Structure 1
Amino acid sequence: MGWWRGYVAVVVWCCVSVVCRVGFGGDAGLQIVTASRTTPEYTRRSEGDVIELSDGRLLLVSMEFSGDGSDFAKTRLVAQESADGGLTWGQHRVVTETADGDMNVYSPNLIAARDGGVLLLFMRQHRAGELTNHVWKSRDGGATFVPYSEFVPRGDFSLCNATVKRLASGRLLLPANPPVPGQRAETGPYAATVLWSDDDGLTWSVSESRVQLPLRGAMEPHVEQTADGRVLMVLRNQLGRLYMSESVDDGVSWSTARPTDLISPESCPELTRIPGTDDLLMIWNNSFDPKFRSHFGRRSPLTAAVSRDGGRSWQNVRDIETDQARAFSNPGCRFTRSGKAIVNYWTCEYLADWRMQDVIDLRVAVIDRSWFYGAGTEAAAGPAGAVVQREIGSRRELFVDRFLIERMRDLELRLQQPVLAEPTTEPADAMEYGTVIRDGDLFRLYTRDGRGAKFDGDEPEVTRYCESRDGVHWTKPRLGLVEVDGSRENNVILKEAPYCHNFSPFLDVRPGVPAEERFKALGGTVKSGLAAFVSGDGIHWRKLRSEPVITYTKEYAFDSQNVAFWSESEGQYVCYFRHFLEGQLRSVCRTTSSDFVNWSEPVPLRPNFPGEHIYTSLTQPYFRAPHLYVATPTRFHPGRGESTDILFMTARGSSHYDRTFREAWIRPGLDPARWGNRSNYAALNVQQTGVAEMSVYVTPFRRFVLRLDGFASLHAGADGGEMTTWPLVFAGKRLFLNYATSAGGSVRGELRNAAGEPLPGFGLADCKSLVGDEIEGQMEWPGGDLTQWVGQPVRLHLELQEADVYALQFRD
């Protein structure tokens, strides 16, 4: 146990005590002070943790950064004390410095030891991605700390401040943030897990579970035990909402993370129990803006919410800080024995370009426990007191994401599985990269025929064309356009390398498009770039110009089906194309154009979960709700015999893909031939093939069917559940639902004002229950039609039992 001999085992005190107060909050029960201000030498003072000592004093240990104040600058851990409940803080004293040769010392955590001492947990970062975690112990009320244990030496288990918790069993639980297995610690993406100790911090074990999320991953986990013994983990991420995982075995294993009702930018949340109650407290940044320059939204406001049902729903949403010109981040909350919450967090100003400056102060909010139960919104509807509403007009909205949903209880968003239809006696050509276009009452199918090509864009490849009047029975017209193997008696429309490799057409619905350019297409490889083609009839094609219209050189790209369309909602052309994310994973880029010739700088969308290859994107406007883009990409598993399956994703305009549904949408199935490479590609475009049916075409030529709008549903089992939307601004006299119930099930609805109060004549008791199965079932109330509420924010509250709701639409 002599590994710490190189460290100073006593605390270096500064002799001057100062008061650093920023002022009191405007609400009774909320007081905010600055505990530590920056200096020219230490330009950032941030990330800390607080503990109440046995004599009632508060001890705060935080970080001081020298140099430029970046995350990689040299640091030291410093301590301050407060003798008046956190309203004033003494001058700092040094606890430990960055060791010689190391990068910095980071992420203080404080917790009471069983023997009355104080444990200080932190990490030393030797270099990027190489960390050692430490426990130091004080037996004299925080006056001095000495090394106690070292664990996961020179590993990559990064810690966050103020996260260590003691469970009812006595186990210490310390969340950690290693990279996803096989990924670099310097860049991520990151996974979340926990370390635990059953001997009060002397030795530690590591959970084998890794909680993972897309983009940068699952970051800065915080944990808390609920009244029923579960342990919840809340996660920073880039998906626009806080996600949670849970453990039922004291942190040994963890569930798949699921979204909460709380919107959030990429920032660190805090989760804790309110003492004397079974209630949970969340402190986080209640905002989200995917177009914001930094972290998908401002780290403001800093907001609190209470859950009385173990984290399933959140109420009493109240703002602690609201200045939109500042960021408030990395909150840590500890309650004193008198019931006051001591919340420490760092703050800085936003620069003119909305980057966060590196001059950072550490603040403390002292909050009465009763304050958290004061007047607030019923659930997280954006900044407390603000109006967040969805302007849906008379659009059809599908329950494929949480766009409409403010909160729900005992319901789930359930992905629906397409059903394989009987093989047709008149199939189209076997598809490789296929596209199906509905042109009036004619279905047009385009597909590559590789004809033994040895590489992408090889000379033998051609594009074939088929037709159908019902989307089920197909013909292969003899067009006489292209000579193949000495004959023109074929259905080939294009034979021009390398464009036939991934020739992907679409019907251009742009207002005013010239008749001779009614159809457009993209095709090409990374060497040629993507060339633009146009056609007046979908059969005779010409290049729009000789040069490519889209090029990309950052990494290998275009070696898949690259799709484009005119977006009615965005008023521009949109292209989703294949690239290799950071040279490793097959992924998706997005670019836009006003004229189909000049395209914007491509933006990587990063829809991949860790280690996941997205082979195609197949992103398309849904034909019954073109503002909603649905995607049916193929997921490629190179480590599993190069097998494939098909996913379901969505996007709204320029936003990133929504991955509410992580599992496969269409599995390979019983046929062994479908378990190899290139065995499961969906054709571009889902099409309506019956009054209540739509079809998905899949290689080699299979047809899967599902109900109209039926990609996913709001689902309730026998016990029932409920959902409340954000305030909706709609147009139309009536409300129609696409729904299905069992014989014993039902759907009822209630209209509420923006404040959540039922509208007279439109309550649950007034609503005629929907029982049955309808694509367009009208929800009716004795209050009459909805004309009086058009243009006003109205919430829709639904109660379901043994039922699915797929979509809704307000219209005349």
Structure 2
Amino acid sequence: MRTRPVLKATEPWEKLVWWPKVMYEEGRYRLWYEAVPPDHWDPEIGPKLAWPNPVFAGLLCYAESEDGFTWTKPELGIGSWDGSNETNISLGRETVGPMGLHGASPFMDPDAPPEARYKMFWYGDATPDVVKAARRERPDAIDPRTTDESHVRAMYVGTSPDGLNWIVQDKPAVVFSSDTLQVVEWDALRKQYVWYGRGWSWGRRTITRAETTDFSRWPLPQDVLTASPINPEQTDLYTNGKTRYPGDPTTHLMFPTLYDRATDQTTIGMATSVDGVAWNWTPGNPVLPVGSPEGVDAGSMFVGIGLVPLPGDRIGLPYAGYSYPHKFPANLADSGFSWCTWTRGRLAGVHAQTEGEFRTPPVRLAGSGLRVNCRVQSGGSLRVGVTDEEWSEIPGLGVSDCQPITGDQLDATVRWSGGSKLPVDRAVSLHFSLRTASVFGFEILDER
């Protein structure tokens, strides 16, 4: 489900807005986004901003919300526009230079000292002197395709105590051309910073990945996801939308933007991973097609960052929508941010149109209670049985012992006759039996 636009370009420095990044912190929604100022299309000023495609140069802006739908753009007193710092610009030309930045990805690093609690990674301009110095100091961190040193892009980093006041590193973290929105996070399990960007292989744009323990120094990334075989051959991957499910750091998700060169339009897909390295496309893509002809997202969409809880038992992912196709002159397009939303826990599911069943791999459970997120059609049912590692039904916990579950329930408690509970002293498999029903997930509860 998509919402109406919740934030649009309203300020004098906002001709175009894109690349939304949302964090939900202590009951407050925080949004970072980029605004492309109107002077980038000025025939006298634009060519002086050092970008061959001036739409790349942006200002990092900030907004806040109590509910995720009504946003305010506070006066930060940091970045300036037209001689005034009464703006919501968090990082502007005073710090990063006249060409601005592109695809900035702020994130919170829980293990960092307070003065560097927030970090950011972005795509910027590198002068010939900067590239030559990088070749001398770190020749293995320069894209082999970098040949014309008079026109090079590189990745830069910055740190902040609050996500608003930034200290920028002058040297590039790696000389690699990854345009569109970057995603960087701290992986607590791997004890590494991980970067998901955009690459180019086999004549098509791909999603890349790299990791490092030193946030200021990155290796060259490697491809981790390409277009699905079911997509048309003219499909490219743009923004990757890497995130995790709210409250579950073990569920790695991507919502890549799929660009169709033939139609000049984009859609949003979904991929999953258990470790953030090996990825698989989910069936049923795209999860969000192009919007209606009268909508702000009628032409193209680009997914942002941050799958967060929303009011009313929903979760949402921000995306930027544009009224014209991707390659249409951007300064003529209407732009804004909307939510792509799902009912809590229902990103994907297993559906039985008539009757069906599936089993989980045997695993030792961390609790004796079971709760299921499901939707059962009228006249249907859902039952769950329990088997041992040899697939033999455990007495009292069989499918026939399970009280049938009906209706549409986010947290249906599974009960068996006689009040039996899940065993915690051995590995077991859960056997789901469905009749005109869908199962979106289940949760093990510690009821010992």
Q: What is the identity, as a one-letter code, of the residue corresponding to 1:671?
A: P
2:127 paired with 1:530: no
Query: Which whole-Å deviations, capped at 9, do the CAs of 1:381-413 have from their partners, x for residues lacking one?
Result: xxxxxxxxxxxxxxxxxxxxxxxxxxxxxxxxx
Asked if 1 retains the 8 angstrom alpha-carbon contact of 2:32 and 2:63, the reply is: yes
Q: Tell me whether 1:742 sits opposite 2:377 in the alignment.
A: yes
Shift of 1:801: 1.7
Describe the shift of the 1:529–1:792 C-alpha distance in structure 2 as closer, same or farther (beyond 3 A). farther
For residues 711 and 473 of structure 1, the distance between their equivalents in structure 2, rounded to whole angstroms, comes to 25
Q: Shift of residue 756 of structure 1?
A: 0.8
* Letter matched to residue 792 of structure 1: R
Deviation at 1:520, TM superposition (A): 1.1
Task: Work out the CA distance in 1 between the residues paired with 2:291 and 2:55.
Answer: 32
Q: 1:764 to 1:622 in 2, by over 3 A?
A: same
Match of 2:286 in 1: 664
Partner of 2:43: none
1:165-184 to structure 2, matched below 5 A, reads none
2:119 alignment partner in structure 1 = 520
From 285, 301, 324, the equivalent of 1:680 is 301
Q: Provide, for residues 544-601 of structure 1, a one-character-per-residue CA deviation record: whole Å limited to 9, x for no partner.
A: x32222333xxxx31111111112343322110111114x211111101223234345
Is residue 292–residue 298 contact of structure 2 (8 Å, CA) maintained in 1? Answer: no
**2:375 is equivalent to residue 751 of structure 1:** no
- Distance in structure 2 (CA, Å) of the matches to 1:623 and 1:467: 19
- Which residue of structure 1 lines up, in the alignment, with residue 437 of structure 2? 803
User: How much has 1:445 moved relative to structure 2?
Assistant: 0.7
Partner of 1:502: 103
Partner of 2:204: 585
Residue aligned with 2:250, SS: strand
Counterpart check, 1:777 vs 2:417: no
**Secondary structure at 1:433 match in 2:** strand
In structure 1, distance between residues paired with 2:361 and 2:159: 43
CA contact (8 A) 1:730 1:810 kept: yes
Structure 2 length-normalised TM: 0.79
Amino acid at match of 1:738: N
The structure with the largest alpha-carbon Rg is: 1
Give the aligned partner of residue 244 of structure 2.
621
Distance in 2 separating the partners of 1:525 and 1:579:
16
In structure 2, the CA distance between the partners of 1:423 and 1:619, relative to structure 1 (3 Å rule), is: closer
Alignment partners' CA distance in 2, 1:736 and 1:745: 18
| Partner residue, 1:445 | 31
- The verdict on how the C-alpha distance between 1:748 and 1:530 changes in structure 2, with shifts beyond 3 A counting, is same
Deviation per CA, 1:16-38: give whole Å up to 9, x if none. Answer: xxxxxxxxxxxxxxxxxxxxxxx
- 1:177-211 deviations in whole A, cap 9, x for unaligned? xxxxxxxxxxxxxxxxxxxxxxxxxxxxxxxxxxx
CA deviation profile, 1:677-736 (whole Å, cap 9, x unmatched): xx301221111012411122222222232111211111112x221111221222112111
Counterpart contact for 1:428–1:475, Cα < 8 Å: no
Instruction: Name the SS of the counterpart of 1:500 in structure 2.
Output: coil
Match of 1:468 in 2: 65
What residue in structure 1 maps to residue 351 of structure 2?
A: 715
How much identity, in percent, do the aligned residues show? 26
Aligned equivalent of 2:332: none
- Matching residue of 1:564: 184
Supply the distance in 1 between the matched residues of 2:316 and 2:56 (Cα, whole angstroms): 33
Tell me whether 1:595 sits opposite 2:217 in the alignment.
no
CA distance in 2, matches of 1:639, 1:630: 27
Task: State whether structure 2 residue 341 is matched by structure 1 residue 705.
Answer: yes
Distance 2:119 2:255 in 1: 21
Measure the CA separation in 2 of the matches of 1:738 and 1:572: 33
- Give the C-alpha shift of residue 783 in structure 1: 5.5
1:551 aligns with 2:170: no
Structure 1 residues 742 and 604 mapped into 2: Cα distance closer, same or farther (>3 Å)?
same
Post-superposition offset of 1:809: 1.6
1:79-103 CA distance string (max 9 Å, x none) = xxxxxxxxxxxxxxxxxxxxxxxxx
Aligned to 2:194: 574
Q: Distance in 2 between matches of 1:656 and 1:441?
A: 33
8 Å contact kept, 1:692–1:775: no
Q: Deviation at 1:742?
A: 2.2
Secondary structure in 2 matching 1:720: strand
Q: Which residue of 1 aligns with 2:148?
A: none
Match of 1:400 in 2: none
| SS of equivalent to 1:504 | coil
Q: Residues 722 and 460 of structure 1: is their aligned pair in 2 closer, same or farther, counting only changes over 3 Å?
A: closer
Deviation at 1:803, TM superposition (A): 1.6
Segments of structure 2 that go 5 or more residues without pairing to the other structure are: 11-15, 41-45, 126-151, 321-335
Task: Measure, in 1, the Cα distance between the counterparts of 2:420 and 2:118.
Answer: 42
Aligned pair partner of 1:793 in 406, 414, 427: 427
Structure 1 residue 765, shift from structure 2 partner: 1.2
Which of 526, 530, 540 is 2:165 aligned to?
A: 540
8 A Cα contact 2:101 2:124, kept in partner: no
Contact 1:731 1:811 survives alignment (8 Å): yes
Q: Secondary structure at the match of 1:591?
A: strand
**Is the CA contact 1:741–1:771 (under 8 Å) kept in the aligned structure 2?**
yes
**What residue number does 1:420 align with?**
2
Aligned length, in residue pairs: 380
- Structure 2 CA distance, aligned partners of 1:798 and 1:504? 40
Residue pairs, 1:74-93, within 5 angstroms: none
One-letter code of the match for 1:710? R
Residues 1:599 and 1:781: Cα distance change in structure 2 (over 3 Å)? farther
In structure 2, relative to structure 1, the CA distance for the partners of 1:475 and 1:810 (3 Å cut) is same
Q: Secondary structure at the match of 1:760?
A: coil
CA contact (8 A) 2:234 2:261 kept: no
1:361-372 maps to which residues of 2 (within 5 A)?
A: none
Paired AA for residue 172 in structure 2: P
What residue in structure 2 maps to residue 51 of structure 1?
none
Q: Check if 1:693 corresponds to 2:314.
A: yes
CA distance in 2, matches of 1:483, 1:753: 65
Name the amino acid aligned to 1:648: M
- TM-score (structure 1 length as normaliser): 0.45
Q: 2:428 and 2:220 mapped to 1: Cα distance?
A: 39
Residue 490 (structure 1) shift: 1.2
Of 212, 226, 235, 1:612 maps to 235
Give 1:675 deviation, angstroms: 4.3
- Pair 490,613 (structure 1): closer, same or farther in 2 beyond 3 Å: same
5 Å-filtered alignment, 1:253-652, equals 419-422=1-4, 424=6, 431-452=17-38, 453=40, 455=51, 461-495=58-92, 496-497=96-97, 498=99, 500-509=101-110, 512-525=111-124, 527-543=152-168, 545-552=169-176, 557-582=177-202, 584-609=203-228, 610-640=233-263, 642-652=264-274
Structure 1 residue identity aligned to 2:245: Y
